[in-house]
Amino acid sequence: MTRVQSEILTVHVPFAIQKRGGRKEIVLPEGAPNRRQRIDNSLIKALARAFRWQRILESGEFATIGDLAAREGIAPSYMTRVMRLTLLPPETVEAILEGRQGAEVTLAGMLEGGDAEWKV
């Protein structure tokens, strides 16, 4: 019987843990390859709502955003901000649905109306 001498190997993996939407997420350091897709369910839900509301308004079922917002039980200003997501380029919407958007792209950031610069 032969004995194998064991060696201790230490591996250092730099990362940080950040809370996002009540969940903890591992954030890799700048420049690290990120092969994992980051699907943002709240952003996808907002996109779905925006396009649904747009279809309802275009159908003529409601005359104004205020009327539709009242039926949905939300503030018209919030509905207006969410509906701006329908103006995103199709490539951007596709990237969000596939989880290819950067970590800096969040629903809160998109609703603020600032120009989000990110790569698909």
* Residues forming beta bridges with residue 120, ordered by sequence position: none
Q: Which residue's entry shows tokens 């996109």?
A: 47
Range from 27-31, 70-74, 97-101 carrying the lowest mean pLDDT: 27-31
- The model's pLDDT over 75-95, given as tens digits with 9 standing for 90+, comes to 999 999 999 999 999 998 998
Rounded (5°) CA angle 116-109-96: 70
